[in-house]
Amino acid sequence: MRFLADGIDFPDELLRAHDEGRTVFFCGAGVSRAKAGLPDFAQLTEEVLDHLGAPPDNKARLFHTASGKIETDYGIKGLTTSDRVFGQLRRDFTDDLIGEAVANSLRPIEPVDFSAHRTVLKLATLQTGELRLITTNFDFLFEQAGGRRLKYATRSNLPHVEFNEADWGVVHLHGMVNSDYSGPENDGFVLSSAELGDAYLALGWARDFVRKILDRYVAVFLGYSADDPPIRYLLEGLQQSKGLKNKAYAFQSIPDDEAVAAWDEKGVTAITFRTDDDVGYDRLWLSLDAWTQRSKDPQKWRQSILQKAKKGPRSLEAHERGMVAHIVSYEDGAKAFSSFRPSLPSEWLCVFDPYVRFGEPRSIAGRFSGGPIVDPHPRYRLDCDASPRAPDDHSPRRGRMPEEAWNGLEPSPNDLKSIQLNQVSFLRGYYAEHLPVLPIRISHLASWIAMVAHEPACTWWAGQQNALHPDILSRLRIDFDTQTSANTTQPVADSWRTIREYHALKGEDRDLSYELKLRAKATGWHEPLAREYASYFAPYLQLQSVWRSPIPPDGRRKLRERDLVQVAVEYFEGIRSVEVPDDYLAPLIGKLRDALHLASDLETRYSYDIDICSIEPDERGEDEGDDDFHRQYKLSGHVLHFVGLFRRYAVLHPIEASGELRSWTTSETIFGRLKVWGMGLLDLVPANEFALLVCSLDDESFWPFKGNRDLLLGLARRWVEFSDADRSEIGRRILKGPTKRKKETRTAYKERMAYIVLNRLHWLASQGCAFDFDLTAKTERLQQSAPEWKPEYALKAARSLDGGGGWVRTETSFDEIKSLSAEDIIPHILSMDRRPVGRLVEYNPFLGLSTDQPECALEALDAHAASEDEFQPSFWNTFLRTDIRKDDDSSLLAQIAQSLLKLPNQRLAQIALSASDWFEKHGEALKDQDFSLFDELWNRLTLALVEEESTQRSTLVREEEEPDWSTEAINSPAGNLAEFLLSHTLKKTFEKGEGLPDQWRLKAEQLLSLPGDSRRFALVLFGYGLRFFYYVDPEWTEEKLLAVLDTNYEPEIDGDALWAGFFWRAQTPSAELFARLKPKLVERLQGRPTQKRQHMEVLSGILLAGWHSKDESSGERLVSSSELRTFLLQGSAEYRRHTLWTLDRWAEDGNEWSASVPEFLRDVWPKQKSIRTKDISARLVELALSQKANFPEVAKLVTGLVSRVDDDRIFIPELRKSEDSIALQHPDELLDLLYAVLPESVSLWPYGTQAALERIGEAKPSLRSSAKFIELSARMG
């Protein structure tokens, strides 16, 4: 937690320990140096040497000088420490003289700034007013800063820690100066290595005193470096005697990774702070001073932060949100947060929940809507948050949430320490079927959630939780159904009803129908299984997030329920594949009908409308596709499944089925549609009942959008059975037409009504239905309102409108245009209906003509180009298609080239992509046949690229800020021309250094002179052939290509394009080119992250191959082991991952690369702790498991290079292979490897690990008694 925005991040455990009076401060020279300006150990040593007049050749001075020089020149600290210098001084000078010199050097210069000492005194003073402070400083500035007579102690009167837990005063552990700074107090100074050795090792009086403290308290080291003699002796002495019982902390400036590591080695956690800016060490003292405000009265400080929290998280800075997060991380803090009145804003849930805090940036209007994109992280981030994961590093479960993101809503280690019996599950009894109660801290937060449930932000948060503990739902005190709370708006009340219904009706995590099918097959059907079948047929609710805003609504616009929660009605489709025996139809029909009633209710409330397909399928013709998907989708599939069962039921039990059919109400869309279908098409009720039903339908049901087919089929089937009166009534109802829509003009209504009525009347007439009125006269009258209506329109009146799908077929027959003149062909095709509505066919006669009669097609293109009609590039693009031009003879090639030359530049530019693609495929043949024609067309194409800006772009739409140069290049005219030069040149044989042909270089330089991206597209292709060009013509390659990689070359983006082609080729360069590129490859390795993501895999492979390859002349590796190790250290984690992945891929068992794996791990792979991430550790284990031939050696090396892998994204595929025999062949090495990498939680172990452990025990039973095997077995339980 930070007290200041740019301050120190204090560990929560330290702050809590300090609140509880469990800390002891140890203060070193840095405290007195910070503000009072006293010397540190090195400066003190220098001043004492000068005071004593030690000559330049004095051994103590030589030690001190040498140590300082080594630290300055090489950054190596502590080689010769001050205690050794003082030990040498004791050989030349008396203790009195040394003591006098030390005291004199520590005399402060007036006026003294005591602010640092006063800050420490405040922190070291308990809330009861007693002081507990230990210092190894000799000065008595603490006593002076206190402004009162403070107790102090030295060696002779150290406090008895076991009897006096509070009032120690200031303990000068290594002695202190006397009052006039003329020497030490009676106990003297502990300065030299001998004195320190006595204190901490031989006699151990200081060690024993400190041991008693550290066994009881949390130590805080301030003003020390890890290499200071007091720290070295104090902590190393303790480590020799069982180490530290409690945590210890030390404040350490960064960047100084070695110092942090040194503290870590001593068992101390470094609390780091920056000093490399203008703030410097003030950051430490400002942060400590801010801490004192809390230390006076932690409860009062907590209340002041909660008072700020009233403003809501968006109004606070990240470190202030961090303070609130710190507070709710503990039981008492969560209770205070929950009890605060008025209740704190529910938007704090967005901070406490990392799934919201690190949610995906989206439009607040929904994922597919317009409007600005909002990233929730800047609004809710904590100061301790790592950056969100990059898009290519998203976790399947956690999204862009970092591994260690703070989560205030999940049990923390502190919560688990105080677990109670009612907070765990039982095998039997009450807690075997009831959820355990929440941990106390989270229970307080649940109470707060209940208090703020009326707020939209709380409802919004609850509306995206797949599961909520029953405690939260049961604690809601607001009666949303009756809306008793004045603060509750209707959308909030409605949303909570939806949330409660979702939790009541949410489905299983998976479709269990298959398991039901297996049980039915094994045991046969029975009543419980039938009930289970009906339960799976019932709909369930699922939360929807597609349209959700990434942040809760802020009240700036009218609140709607869908802004807070969105659910969809879903169905288990697998239940439809379970066969139901005839014997169980009768008991099931009622249950399934009830399930559809529930579906009707849910769909009415949660879907935009109830959309079910027609009951009777369409009779689809050729090119009309199929409607299977639409008929099986969600509700439609369930309704049709019910229809299928009901048909069977009607055959077996017609009387009962007719009663069931009559019971269905038309007020529900589903059953209204089913009743119309059943009465019209099943022989279950008399025709007059159906007629009565039809006449009683409301306007929407009589003129349905989707149910029209079932109604018309029923009318046609039973028309002859109707009485004259029924037919007359139905006819009048049809003639009446649908009602007028709101805002529909009278003219538009009359036209729409006429179309619908005419279609229905004429379709029924075509099915043999006679009317008692003159259809012709009625038709003439209605056509006055719809003059464009035609009788053939009625043929589709009974189509279902369900929609169809399938592949669109291309019809290339050109019979229709065969007899046309050349100038009429294209205009005629343009006038055709080439994509008829409702048909899955596209007519493209010009494609057929271009394929079978290309000369005729070319004449048509020339004729149309010569006309004044608008130019049609699509016809040229069709004609020049690679698949139909591949077998053209030389005569036709020449004709095509001449036709292209006839086009003006503007038109040639419009077909530049297809024309350049044709030229890339056929340019070589054209050159051999007629060089002048070839050359002229080349020049025209390049001129079009210069003059017409549209040709300088790729056809690939650039969706990201960083271009994908390779893909764009091969989809561009310039890229096609460059590919022509490249592909035909690569096929030829050249001697080393022979040089490229003049004509080739001329054309290549034309492309390299193109404007804008066209030049870069050419560079991509030339980068692809970089190794070849450098071999044949190094001078030209250097001047025209490699020059773009120089640091001072502008624009830099040209170099990106060349690199894109080079990495696209993914070929290890020759030794000479490698030497030229190596510095640039390293620059690329350290370049922009986006660059690294695009090419890191190839770059890692090239550098790895360079390590494995040797220069034939010198025998040296192209990349030395030390160089590659440096690259791996300086590169990104992504680069290291790719290097291991590449090595694993190349090192097939037993090959040359496999033999190099041990050398790579031993001599190249970095051994630093910082490299041993969970991801890298998993990759190393995967590499080891793939090396069957040399597994023992590789496993031993990997075991020393990994840390535990406890991220659920990581898995080790090799352990999934049941046939793996490593456990049987090398059980010792595999056990060591698994022990080093497996996490504490067995739930995160890779699949197959437990079986591997069993095989290890089988292969070598003696290992079962080893400590590692026993511990891993214990974790499994």
The CA-based dihedral angle spanning residues 299, 304, 309, 310, taken in that order and rounded to the nearest 10 degrees: 110
**Cβ neighbour number for residue 614 with a 10 Å cutoff:** 27
Give the DSSP H/E element, type plus range, for residue 669.
helix 669-681
The pair of structure tokens assigned to 914 is: 């297809």
1130 CB-near residues (< 8 Å, 6+ apart): 1085, 1086
The pair of structure tokens assigned to 764 is: 């029924």
Range in 294-303, 637-646, 1145-1154 with the lowest mean pLDDT? 1145-1154
pLDDT number for residue 781: 96
Indicate the DSSP class of residue 1117. B
201 shares a domain with 327? no
1020 found inside a domain: no
Last residue of a domain, one of 296, 330, 354: 296
Bridge partners, residue 219, by sequence = 24, 248
**Quick check: 1011 and 973 in contact, CB under 8 A?**
no
Last residue of a domain, one of 884, 917, 932: 932
Is the pLDDT at 1198 greater than 50, yes or no? yes
847 found inside a domain: yes
Bridge partners, residue 373, by sequence = 363
The pair of structure tokens assigned to 479 is: 């009666």
> d(Cα 1007, Cα 1051) in Å, to the nearest integer?
17
- Residue 267's φ and ψ, nearest 5 degrees, are 80, 20
Range in 363-372, 920-929, 1234-1243 with the lowest mean pLDDT? 363-372
**Quick check: 982 and 1024 in contact, CB under 8 A?**
yes
Cα torsion angle, 53, 55, 56, 57, sign: negative
pLDDT number for residue 404: 82
**Quick check: 297 and 127 in contact, CB under 8 A?**
yes
Cis peptide before 617 (omega within 30 of 0): no
Pairing of strands 169-172, 132-135: parallel
19 shares a domain with 58? no
915 shares a domain with 835? yes
Is the pLDDT at 116 greater than 70, yes or no? yes
Query: Structural domain of residue 1190, as residue ranges?
Result: 1181-1277
CB neighbour burial string for 1179-1202, b if at least 16 within 10 angstroms, e if fewer: bbbbbbbbbbebbbbbbbbbbebb
pLDDT number for residue 1214: 54
665 found inside a domain: no
> d(Cα 1086, Cα 504) in Å, to the nearest integer?
54
> d(Cα 403, Cα 1244) in Å, to the nearest integer?
14
> d(Cα 404, Cα 398) in Å, to the nearest integer?
11
Distances (CA, A) of 331 to 14, 181, 414: 16, 50, 9
566 found inside a domain: no
> d(Cα 1097, Cα 14) in Å, to the nearest integer?
43
118 shares a domain with 216? yes
Cis peptide before 255 (omega within 30 of 0): yes
How many distinct helices (H) and strands (E) make up the chain?
65, 13
167 shares a domain with 269? yes
Bridge partners, residue 26, by sequence = 134, 221
Last residue of a domain, one of 412, 435, 452: 452
Q: What is the CATH number of the domain that holds 25?
A: 3.40.50.1220
SS (H, E, C) 440-478: HHHHHHHHHHHHCCCCHHHHHHHCCCCCCCHHHHHHCCC
227 CB-near residues (< 8 Å, 6+ apart): 77, 78, 81, 259, 262
168 found inside a domain: yes
**Quick check: 597 and 668 in contact, CB under 8 A?**
yes
- Residue 169's φ and ψ, nearest 5 degrees, are 75, -150
> d(Cα 457, Cα 461) in Å, to the nearest integer?
6
> d(Cα 130, Cα 166) in Å, to the nearest integer?
6
**Cβ neighbour number for residue 950 with a 10 Å cutoff:** 12
> d(Cα 931, Cα 919) in Å, to the nearest integer?
13
CA angle 223, 226, 227 (to 5 degrees): 110
Question: Predicted confidence band at 622 (pLDDT cuts at 50, 70, 90)?
Answer: low
209 shares a domain with 87? no
The whole-number average pLDDT for the span 1106-1135 is 88
> d(Cα 326, Cα 331) in Å, to the nearest integer?
11
The pair of structure tokens assigned to 113 is: 């700034």
318 shares a domain with 291? no
Q: How far is CA 1000 from the centre of its chain?
A: 47
The whole-number average pLDDT for the span 754-782 is 96
> d(Cα 849, Cα 858) in Å, to the nearest integer?
10
793 found inside a domain: no
Question: What single letter denotes the amino acid at residue 1143?
Answer: L
Is the pLDDT at 75 greater than 80, yes or no? no
3-state secondary structure of 1201: coil
**Cβ neighbour number for residue 1240 with a 10 Å cutoff:** 10
Of the candidates 310, 309, 330, which has an alpha carbon nearest to the alpha carbon of residue 321?
309
150 shares a domain with 261? yes
231 shares a domain with 135? yes
> d(Cα 106, Cα 153) in Å, to the nearest integer?
19
pLDDT number for residue 805: 59
pLDDT number for residue 547: 63
**Quick check: 1029 and 1022 in contact, CB under 8 A?**
yes
121 shares a domain with 267? yes
Of the candidates 854, 869, 871, 874, which has an alpha carbon nearest to the alpha carbon of residue 814?
854
919 found inside a domain: yes
773 CB-near residues (< 8 Å, 6+ apart): 731, 735
Is the pLDDT at 368 greater than 60, yes or no? no
**Quick check: 399 and 360 in contact, CB under 8 A?**
yes
- For tokens 């709710």, name the residue: 328
HSE, CB side, 13 Å, CA atoms: give it for residue 528.
2
- Domain tally, the chain: 5
The pair of structure tokens assigned to 695 is: 């006449």
Question: Predicted confidence band at 83 (pLDDT cuts at 50, 70, 90)?
Answer: confident
Phi-psi label, residue 449: left if phi above 0, alpha if psi -120 to 50, beta otherwise = alpha
Phi-psi label, residue 1115: left if phi above 0, alpha if psi -120 to 50, beta otherwise = left
CB neighbour burial string for 435-466, b if at least 16 within 10 angstroms, e if fewer: eebbbbbbbbbbbbbbbbbbbbbbbbbbbbbe
pLDDT number for residue 959: 47
Question: What single letter denotes the amino acid at residue 1157?
Answer: V
Pairing of strands 362-363, 152-153: unpaired
The whole-number average pLDDT for the span 918-925 is 94
Of the candidates 445, 520, 392, which has an alpha carbon nearest to the alpha carbon of residue 1090?
392
CB neighbour burial string for 721-734, b if at least 16 within 10 angstroms, e if fewer: ebeeebbebbbeeb
Indicate the DSSP class of residue 341. S
3-state secondary structure of 1204: coil
For all residues of the chain together, what is the average pLDDT?
A: 88
128 CB-near residues (< 8 Å, 6+ apart): 166
51 shares a domain with 26? no
**Quick check: 23 and 17 in contact, CB under 8 A?**
yes
The whole-number average pLDDT for the span 70-85 is 70
226 shares a domain with 257? yes
The pair of structure tokens assigned to 965 is: 């140069």
Is the pLDDT at 433 greater than 80, yes or no? no
Question: What single letter denotes the amino acid at residue 622?
Answer: E
pLDDT, tens digit, for every residue of 501-554? Answer: 999 998 876 778 888 988 999 999 999 999 999 999 999 999 987 567 899 998
> d(Cα 430, Cα 772) in Å, to the nearest integer?
74
Is the pLDDT at 1252 greater than 80, yes or no? yes
pLDDT number for residue 1090: 46
Q: How far is CA 956 from the centre of its chain?
A: 26
Range in 3-17, 531-545, 738-752, 1124-1138 with the lowest mean pLDDT? 1124-1138
908 found inside a domain: yes
pLDDT, tens digit, for every residue of 411-427? Answer: 988 888 777 777 677 77
Phi-psi label, residue 169: left if phi above 0, alpha if psi -120 to 50, beta otherwise = left
Give the DSSP H/E element, type plus range, for residue 396.
none
Range in 399-403, 616-620, 685-689, 959-963 with the lowest mean pLDDT? 959-963
pLDDT, tens digit, for every residue of 580-615? Answer: 999 999 999 999 999 999 999 999 999 877 878 899
